[in-house]
Structure 1
Amino acid sequence: MKPPLVVVLLLLVNMTLHQQHAAAALEPISTSIALGMAAYLTSFLAMNPNIFNYFSECCKPEWISMNRSGLEADLERKLFGQHIATRIIVKAVSGFMNNNNPKKPLVLSLHGWTGTGKNFVSQLIADNIYKEGMDSKFVHIFTAELHFPHANQIDSYKSQLQQWIRGNVTDCPKSMFIFDEMDKMHPGLIDSIKPFLDYYDKLDGVSYRKAIFIFLSNAGGEGIIQTTLDFWRSGRDREEIELKDLETTLSLAVFNNKQSGLWHTNLIDKNLVDFFVPFLPLEYKHVILCTKAEMTAKGLMPDQDVADKVARDLVYFPKSERVFSVKGCKTIESKLDYYL
């Protein structure tokens, strides 16, 4: 919805134009009013040249600014079972956005099994930086199967990808690029953007230092699951798991996985990925919380009985212990619709 002041201004512009065209046919008093309004509006716009920034998205603080408290609240209320990811995301993103002169773009690589919250976290980051959230023209999403489907066209994809990023960062230095399905990306493709992620002041007159790059992948998920399962079997709380327990193993697993778009990439070899963010597999209790959150989002009162029915309907692994949800919280919305 446009701000009331903008609506008034638009009406005044429209009215003034009509009155100016008809001024010759008006009586002297009406003509004076019309010309007076035109003069006032011209003066107002001269004194407030940025007024149009309030209703047309642009690369300005009115549309792009970090809301740390909002991001913290969203992660606390909407993301479950991901204490490591929550801590890293808040500190990394807010620290980067509050730095007026970063040395390089922020590069996050989010890893974990399906349904653990990787895409959801990307959305929450965008929602708390861009006023238009994921609908912002400065947020760009690439998916392997849609944008880069054919292995025999990789050279063309590399050129296109460089052009897309260069053009969008030229338009707005604080652009965000999300690469989904990195585990399905053709090896070598992502290396084409390596110069944009490095410690360069400018490349061909363009600075990429204020951009954000987020990679989403299932690669490395097995190692994350195994570590989490080991903690569970030893009777330790999952909140005891720290980044140091996973980061080195995760980066090596991704680097050496031929099914990963980050396989043998210079991005890892040159330490250009700022954080490898692990997303832990979700347990029954987290599925319950996801279900209740979805009910709240639908404007309903959370119902424990319904949440239990939805949670029991999911498949868990390992088969003998049934600890983790196979699909995380990914199918909660559709299953909840069924039970409601």
Structure 2
Amino acid sequence: MRPPRQMTDQDSSLSSSHTEEEEEETMEEDGGGGGGCRPMMAPAASLLGVSSTLHAVIRIKQKYQALKKRRQEMALAMGGLPGAPARTSPKIFTFDAAAAPVSCFPPRKKKRKRRVLYPYRRRRKAPREEQSPAEFCLYLLSAILFVQVYNAIENLDDHVIRYDLEGLEKTLRREVFGQQGAVEALTWHLKDFLSTYVHNRPLVLSVHGPSGVGKSHLGRLLAGHFRSVVGEALVLQYFALHHCPLEAEAPRCAQQLLSLVSEAVELGEREEKIPLFVLDEAEHMHGQILDALLGLLAPSQANQFLNAVYVILGNLGHERITRHLLRNASSHELLAPELRRHLEGRHPLWAEVNVVPLGLLERSHVTECFLDEMSREGFYPDRSHMEQLAAEMEYYPAVGGREYAVTGCKQVVAKVNLL
């Protein structure tokens, strides 16, 4: 007898594979595969021409896929139970290991999570701009310009302070009654001209108004103030009827006036001060004198003649002033242009000057004149007595609730002297 042949590894593997095939057939007969979907395979009739070995391989593959599918379903079913052992599929005959499991349901699309951006923990500094050397030069130039302008303004203030124009304005407001507009215009021109020493033309102010409104008094106040700040030699008061009463002496008077002006301006040039010339009674000045004054205002004159202030006083055009105020009591702004046009037709001198008109005085202004004169003479200022004296003056018919005096304050001194 032959001894029994020992089982080799190949026989054992074949027997195990037959065992697994029988188990799979048994599971298929018992309804294996769960309710899962099986992949559709070609019918056996299509494989009749294939060799038996290849047919066996295909059958093994189909049964392996069915077994694998069932084990996966069992693993999913037992995955929720605690202590259930994890099942793994065998690693033999894994022809489609990379293939995805077949499912009856369409794959779900995974939602793409938005990327969460977190702020930086450290604060980033802005890039530092490089400073150009030109910027420093610009700052330095601005500082130098500011200092120069500041020094210039300080010098202007010092020059104006020398003439004490604030004190002059207070004096005029206190002493000249009813002419606040004219006082403001006069002081404005003086401040604008006296703020510097070098000029291209002299300042000429022509003050006109009816009789008794304070023209001569204004000239005396200006002359007295400038004598106190620049000296007696730099102030000239010229009265036409006193210095040149006869028309035949007009040429000589003109030359005399020019010599007086030349001496004053030369002294002012040496002392760096601006002289003042007050020319009163302009209505009595002859043509030669007006021509001489016009020559002094020419820009071609020497520098010392350009640094001077001329104040011309007179009642030229007083009819125009009176008529304008009696017709338009509230329109004092239009008085200066109208008076200027009238004076330009008289002589070309008034085309080169600044015209400052003086208006008529009201009853209240006349009362203030009585108060001032009585205080100067030492009388007790009785209000009722002053109003009684003011009522004795002659007035124009009331216009717009205002009563203008015919002679202004001209007769106030005579009436106070009779007390």
Same fold (TM over 0.5): yes
Aligned equivalents of 1:297, 1:89: Cα separation in 2 = 26
Aligned to 1:151: 247
Normalised by the length of structure 1, the TM-score is 0.67
Aligned to 2:405: 325
Aligned to 2:218: 121
| Structure 2 unaligned spans of 5+ | 1-157
Flag the 1:192–1:322 CA change in 2: closer, same or farther, 3 A. Answer: same
Aligned to 1:241: 332
Flag the 1:75–1:158 CA change in 2: closer, same or farther, 3 A. Answer: closer
| Secondary structure of 1:130's aligned partner | helix
* Greater radius of gyration (CA): 2
| Structure 1 unaligned spans of 5+ | 1-60, 257-262
- Check whether the contact 1:115–1:327 (CA below 8 A) recurs between aligned residues: yes
Which of 303, 311, 316 does residue 395 from structure 2 map onto?
A: 316
Whichever residue aligns with residue 286 of structure 2, its letter is H
- Check whether the contact 1:181–1:218 (CA below 8 A) recurs between aligned residues: yes
Aligned equivalents of 1:212, 1:296: Cα separation in 2 = 33
Aligned to 1:231: 328
For the pair 1:170 / 2:266, whether they are aligned, the reply is yes
Whichever residue aligns with residue 316 of structure 1, its letter is Y
Aligned to 1:279: 358
- Check whether the contact 1:81–1:282 (CA below 8 A) recurs between aligned residues: yes
| Secondary structure of 1:110's aligned partner | strand
Flag the 1:196–1:295 CA change in 2: closer, same or farther, 3 A. Answer: same
- Check whether the contact 2:251–2:288 (CA below 8 A) recurs between aligned residues: no
Q: Give the deviation of 1:131 after TM superposition.
A: 0.9
Higher relative contact order at CA 8 Å, sep ≥6: structure 1 or structure 2?
Answer: 1
Aligned equivalents of 1:85, 1:104: Cα separation in 2 = 22
| Secondary structure of 2:368's aligned partner | helix
Aligned to 1:37: none
| Secondary structure of 1:208's aligned partner | helix
- Check whether the contact 2:173–2:180 (CA below 8 A) recurs between aligned residues: no
Aligned to 2:200: 103
Q: Give the deviation of 1:209 after TM superposition.
A: 2.1
- Check whether the contact 1:112–1:279 (CA below 8 A) recurs between aligned residues: yes
Whichever residue aligns with residue 347 of structure 2, its letter is H
Normalised by the length of structure 2, the TM-score is 0.55
Which of 319, 334, 354 does residue 222 from structure 1 map onto?
A: 319
Q: Give the deviation of 1:276 after TM superposition.
A: 0.4
Q: Give the deviation of 1:86 after TM superposition.
A: 1.2
Whichever residue aligns with residue 158 of structure 1, its letter is A
Deviations 1:42-79 (A, max 9, x none): xxxxxxxxxxxxxxxxxxx99x9321221221122222
- Check whether the contact 1:67–1:129 (CA below 8 A) recurs between aligned residues: no
Q: Percent identity?
A: 28
| Secondary structure of 2:233's aligned partner | coil
Flag the 1:157–1:66 CA change in 2: closer, same or farther, 3 A. Answer: same
Flag the 1:164–1:127 CA change in 2: closer, same or farther, 3 A. Answer: closer
- Check whether the contact 1:96–1:106 (CA below 8 A) recurs between aligned residues: yes
Aligned to 1:213: 310
Q: Give the deviation of 1:92 after TM superposition.
A: 0.9
Q: Give the deviation of 1:298 after TM superposition.
A: 4.4
Which of 177, 183, 186 does residue 80 from structure 1 map onto?
A: 177
Q: Give the deviation of 1:297 after TM superposition.
A: 3.9
